[in-house]
Chain A
C-alpha cells in the first residue's frame, strides 16, 4: 500500500518534471519563433532589431534548458547587449529608422521563388534531422557534458587546453576586426590630410541630395 502510494507520488513527480520541461521548451520556442517572424516581416528596422532581441532571449532560455548556462549568459550579454545595440546605434546614426517605402523593385517577382527555396531547405534539414546516424560511437575528444563539475569549469578547461590555439587566434581576429572597422569608417581617406575640415565633415551636396527611394545610379 505504502509502496504503491510512493510509486504514484514518484510518477506524478516525474509527470510534473516532464510537463515543466515541455512547458519551458514551448515558451522558448514560441518566443524565438515570434521574434524570428518579427525580424522578417516587420517593416521598421528598429522593430526588427527588437524582434531579434526577443529571439535571442528565447534561445538563451533554451540554452539554459540544455545545461549550457555560461553560453546562455554570454548569449544575452554579447548578442542582446552588444550586437543588437550596435545595430540600433547604426540605425539611429544613419537615420533609417523609418518604414521602408514599398517600391517597385525589379526583384519583387522573385519573392515566391525565395520562399520556395527556403521551404526546400527546411524540408531537407528536417529530413536530415530524422536520419539517426549522428552518434558515431567515438569517445568525446574533449570532455563529457554530464560529468562532475560546473558547466563553466568544464567549458573553460576544454577551451584553455584542447582549443587553446583557436582561442588565441580569436584574439588576433578581434584585433583585426577593430582595425578594419576603424579603417572602413574613417572619412575621406583619399582626400589627404591637408583637406579642409569642413569638407571632411560633410559630404558634397550632390551626394547628399539623394533621398531614400530614389534609385542611385
Chain B
C-alpha cells in the first residue's frame, strides 16, 4: 500500500515551480544552478511515479540517464562559473549581460 500516484505528481509539480521561481528570482549563478538541480530532482520524482503507475521499469531507466546527464552538466557548468568568477570576481547573472570578454 502506497500513497496514490497523483499525490506524488502534485508534489513534483510544486517542487518544479519552486525551483523555477528560484531560477528566475535569484541572481547568484551558483544558487541558480542549485535551482536547476531542484527542477531536475522533481522531474526524476515524476519519472519514478509514472514507472510505478504504469508498471514499467522504463521510467526508472530514464532517471538513471537523467542522473548521468545532470552530473556531466554540473561539471561543465561549474567549470564555466569558475572561469567567469576568475575573470570578474563577485559577478552576478546581471553582470554577465554581454558576451564581450
Closest chain-A Cβ to B88's Cβ sits at a distance in Å of 4
**A159 proximity list for chain B (CB < 8 A):** 61, 64
| Chain A interface extent, by class | 35 or more
CB-CB contacts of B74-101 with A at 8 A, as 1s and 0s?
A: 1110111111011111110011000000
Q: A56 to B70: give the CA distance in the assembly, Å.
A: 14
Q: Find chain B residues with CB under 8 A from A59 CB.
A: 41-42, 44-45
B: residues with CB less than 8 A from A are 1-3, 6-11, 13-22, 24-28, 30-31, 33-35, 37-38, 41-42, 44-45, 48-58, 60-61, 63-65, 67-76, 78-83, 85-91, 94-95
Asked if A185 CB lies within 8 Å of chain B CBs, one says yes
Whether a CB of chain B sits under 8 angstroms from the CB of A214 is: yes
**Could you tell me if B81 and A158 are in contact, using CB atoms closer than 8 angstroms?**
no
Q: Are the C-beta atoms of B41 and A79 separated by less than 8 Å?
A: yes
For the complex, is A191 an interface residue (Cβ under 8 Å from B)?
Answer: no
Partner of B56, one of A45, A63, A144: A144
In the complex, are the beta carbons of A174 and B72 less than 8 A apart? yes
Nearest-neighbour CB distance to chain A for B5, whole angstroms, equals 9
* Residues A211 and B90 in contact, CB atoms below 8 Å apart: yes
Among B44, B56, B86, point to the contact of A140 (Cβ < 8 A). B56
Contacts of A106 in B (CB 8 A): 94
A67 at interface, CB cutoff 8 A: yes
B58 contacts A158, CB within 8 Å? yes
Asked if A155 meets B64 with Cβ closer than 8 Å, knowing A118-B20, A142-B58, A216-B91, the reply is: yes
**A-side contacts of B50, CB under 8 Å:** 134
Contact A45 B1 (CB under 8 A): no
The reply to whether A36 and B15 form a contact with Cβ atoms under 8 Å apart is: yes
User: A170: which of B17, B49, B65 is its contact (CB, 8 Å)?
Assistant: B65
Q: Given A40-B21, A94-B85, A178-B75, does the pair A87, B33 have CB atoms closer than 8 Å? A: yes
**Binary per-residue interface labels of chain A (141-173) against chain B in the complex, 1 for a CB within 8 Å, 0 otherwise:** 111111000010011001100110010001001
Selected A-B contacts with CB under 8 Å, 16 pairs: A25-B2, A39-B31, A52-B34, A66-B49, A66-B52, A87-B34, A87-B78, A94-B89, A121-B20, A125-B13, A135-B54, A145-B60, A158-B58, A170-B68, A177-B71, A207-B87
Let me know if B61 and A130 touch, CB within 8 A.
Answer: no
In the complex, the answer to whether B24 meets A117 with C-beta atoms within 8 Å is yes
- Further contacts, 14 of them, CB under 8 A, given A40-B19, A59-B41, A145-B56: A22-B3, A24-B3, A33-B15, A36-B15, A48-B34, A55-B41, A63-B45, A100-B27, A107-B27, A140-B58, A166-B65, A173-B69, A177-B71, A184-B79
Output the residue of B10, B19, B72 with the most chain A CB within 10 A: B72
Q: Considering the chains assembled together, what is the distance between the CA atoms of A184 and B56 in angstroms?
A: 40
